[in-house]
Structure 1
Amino acid sequence: MSEQRQAEQRIVVVGAGMAGVQTAVALRELGFTGSVVLLGAEPHQPYDRPPLSKAVLLGKAEGSAFDVDFEALAIELRLGREVTRLRAAAHEIDTPAGPVPYDVLVIATGAEPVTLPGGEGVPGVHLLRTLDDAERLRPVLAEQHEIVVVGAGWIGAEFATAAREAGCAVTVVEAADRPLAGALPAEVAAPMAGWYADSGARLLTGVRVARIEPGSVVLAAGATPPPRPEGPDGEAGGGPDAGTAGGPEGETRLAAGAVVVGIGARPATGWLAGSGIALGPDGSVTADERLRTSLPDVYAVGDCASFPSARYGERLLVHHWDNALQGPRTVAANILADATGGVPEVYDPVPYFWSEQFGRFVQYAGHHGAADTMLWRGDPAGAAWSVCWLRDGVFVALLAVGRPRDLAQGRRLIEAGLRLDPERAADPSVPLKSAVR
């Protein structure tokens, strides 16, 4: 593409979260000279999400806006512009403010939280996904309300951690038989159940919510919550039977000054219905290895897009910050390569994420779905331990709790596709890099 032709091109990025912002920035860093339009549904300056469940929620920070000078980069930022429809044949997207034409479109609309049926519109029921969500929850924590968290996944654990730090009585209700049931094997998640009690939070597993009413959560018949555990300071987080009351037909009610729902997220792709773009069973845009979609001139990146991984032999949908940081560089490079006949890049990362919960720093790298061997490094009852997963002897995934050196070394070894000696890898005194065969 000639410089004049490039200068006439217009790239529209839909979604002003991490993936969208980094795509726009990467286009400029790689030398794109045409028009870059970044559309954000929220009215706020684009911001980072991880601090929402930590510093912003606890009032330790007012916000987490990205340190990006959009004007200096000649990125046209349009906020409060929710996109409602893609009309690929016309190369336009529709917004309430009118259609927006594009030469190249990047879909980076992220994910949206799954809501609890029957919880919509009930006073005191919250989600935690946006800056506005965090702002609404901040006074709830400051007033030390009795809180019920529905879902013991990553976001549920992080919110419960913040709520206990704020002095709230917390009960976490999980339908599965353990926390993080969708993310980790039972034997790995089992030690994490004790973290809740250590912090003074009450964890109810194998319990379903029947309905939410103003001021209470009604559990399905047969649920009998245990008394609240003592917290780290010896207090019982609201008394041994606080927040529990019997109901009709064996129902149990949990008193709830507020309810926070954290039962997962799904790709925010509803606006693509009828567009002709290929979506997977999980609702994700099914991008190829170059992050191109099934439609010409349309790419997808971040939480809304799945991609084929040759490394792991399956299609991956990664709802984590690092994916939204790394993917944009690839999608920007491929937009330019496709336009100029350059060499394309393949996106096949080692997924990575972290979580801060109950005084522990948890990190994960890789994907253990097809692993055939699991190795423990250290005692899971202790403060620091790791788990390694191998497939045919090749290191494919690692979970590290309080062992950042394991994570740093392990991530590099996984990226290199190296084999480990199982006996040495299971010895926590042996550095992982020294366990390579």
Structure 2
Amino acid sequence: MSEQRSGTGTALGQRHVVIVGAGMAGVQTAVALREQGFAGPVTLIGAEPHRPYDRPPLSKAVLLGKADGSAFDVDFAALGVTLELGREVTGVRPGDHELDTAAGPVRYDVLVVATGAEPVRLPGTDADPAVHLLRTLDDAARLRPVLAEQRDVVVVGAGWIGAEFATAAREAGCRVTVVEAAGRPLAGALPAEIAAPMAAWYADAGAELRTHARVRSVEPGSVVLDDGTQLPAGAVVIGIGARPATAWLAGSGIDLGGHGEVLADAGLRTSRADVYAVGDCSSFPSGRYAERLLVHHWDNALQGPRTVAANIIGETPAVYDPVPYFWSEQFGRFVQYAGHHRAADTTVWRGDPAGAAWSVCWLRAGALVGVLAVGRPRDLAQGRKLIEAGTALDPERLADPARPLKSALA
């Protein structure tokens, strides 16, 4: 068999793979390359100076001072992976196979874009030391004193990160007010009838949730809403969403979508030769759901790298078409979600949403396409497998929460 070569004419075993982004997607790409037998040089570049770390603990153990960090348990030296930390990449020239950085250019044979997402900021608050984001280890370190001092906290945004931070702040003894421009929490993530019961969780935990509330300004010691209401605020935490961290790709010729995400194909390749994209920064076409998916969750960053590694090595072409999955811990509840509900034509409740444990199933043409489980991990585990199998279910049997979800086969 002839030796496979990249677009630069370099032999497969000698190609230099450069991964930009040292979060979950970047780290797992490096690990997957070695696990699948790639022997060439691998360089992992991260903008932060810290050893690569996992992000979910930031809103929980790290934030509450129960852990100093969440570094990945990966021996990069043993893997033969070169770490370049504290090095920001400012651009890429695919035609030259080179990255631009402040410390000089970096040449690659294969590039993997794994720069994740960055939080959306509240306009006019960038220089205010009382306004915080929660995305990085440094963000968590700045917020720890806020919780330790039990300051009054205003959280802007009742999405996943807003709810998780509010949970931690209440656990620390802070007075918490959450303001949300929409009429319910998780407005961009779940249908109104599903998210509505979750509004009561805030009051149950001693937090105040204000919906239909927009921030006019942040003043010293307070947040002013559009209606003139002033909320006491020793600190303000912004959780109004995230967008792909892809500004550095401007002018590269790498195709981007409407949200700024890299448009990858089913093998997670981009529009330019020898460039892949994986994790929060990219979208991919899902054959399972017949639409392009942009998934900002940990499991996507964990699973996608295996496909990238397989296609870089090139022995057996791989297609990425996962059942999306995520979880959230908020107000004493463990919330899990698998699938993609927007394609559904039928919604089935399992249990009373006023109770401690319930779930919702979404069907399309009788087959399960999505499941949300609150305190019902078995529903999630079984549902995920049924979605992967494309199994048809009987809605009447499915609605009985006493039955195992898998027993509702049509």
Judge same fold: TM > 0.5, yes or no.
yes
Hey, what does 2:280 align to over in structure 1?
Answer: 303
1:210 equivalenced with 2:183 (yes/no): no
1:416 equivalenced with 2:397 (yes/no): no
Q: Which runs of 5+ in 1 are unaligned?
A: 222-250
1:82 equivalenced with 2:88 (yes/no): yes
TM-score by length of 1: 0.91
Q: How does 1:180-329 map to 2 (within 5 A)?
A: 180-221=186-227, 251-329=228-306
Q: CA deviation at 1:255?
A: 1.0
Number of aligned residues: 404
Q: Distance in 2 between matches of 1:133 and 1:431?
A: 42
Q: Distance in 2 between matches of 1:2 and 1:216?
A: 62
1:365 to 338, 343, 348: 338
Q: CA deviation at 1:88?
A: 0.8
1:395 equivalenced with 2:368 (yes/no): yes
Q: Deviations over 1:91-145 (max 9, x none)?
A: 0000111000000000000000000011111121000000000000001100000
Q: CA deviation at 1:2?
A: 6.5
Q: State the one-letter code of the partner of 1:348.
A: D
Q: CA deviation at 1:23?
A: 0.1
| Partner SS state of residue 125, structure 2 | coil
Q: Distance in 2 between matches of 1:176 and 1:110?
A: 26
Q: CA deviation at 1:37?
A: 0.4
Q: How does 1:6-17 map to 2 (within 5 A)?
A: 6-17=12-23
Q: How does 1:88-99 map to 2 (within 5 A)?
A: 88-99=94-105
Q: Deviations over 1:52-82 (max 9, x none)?
A: 0000000000000000000000000000011
Q: Distance in 2 between matches of 1:168 and 1:408?
A: 35
Q: CA deviation at 1:343?
A: 2.4
| Partner SS state of residue 76, structure 2 | coil
Provide the aligned C-alpha RMSD in A.
1.0
**Does the 8 Å contact 2:323/2:387 carry over to 1?**
yes
Q: Distance in 1 between matches of 2:232 and 2:304?
A: 43
Q: How does 1:29-178 map to 2 (within 5 A)?
A: 29-178=35-184
Q: Distance in 1 between matches of 2:170 and 2:378?
A: 29
**Does the 8 Å contact 2:310/2:316 carry over to 1?**
no
Q: Distance in 2 between matches of 1:90 and 1:211?
A: 46
Percent identity reads 76
Q: Distance in 2 between matches of 1:322 and 1:353?
A: 6
Q: State the one-letter code of the partner of 2:179.
A: V
**Does the 8 Å contact 2:254/2:270 carry over to 1?**
yes
Q: Distance in 2 between matches of 1:416 and 1:213?
A: 53
Q: Distance in 2 between matches of 1:436 and 1:93?
A: 52
Hey, what does 1:241 align to over in structure 2?
Answer: none
**Does the 8 Å contact 1:6/1:33 carry over to 2?**
no
Q: CA deviation at 1:252?
A: 1.1
Q: Deviations over 1:324-378 (max 9, x none)?
A: 00000111001111xxxx3211100000000000000000000001101000000
Q: How does 1:322-341 map to 2 (within 5 A)?
A: 322-337=299-314
TM-score by length of 2: 0.97
Q: State the one-letter code of the partner of 2:38.
A: F
| Partner SS state of residue 212, structure 1 | strand
Q: Distance in 1 between matches of 2:123 and 2:20?
A: 28
Q: State the one-letter code of the partner of 2:326.
A: F
Q: Distance in 2 between matches of 1:8 and 1:288?
A: 25
Q: How does 1:375-394 map to 2 (within 5 A)?
A: 375-394=348-367
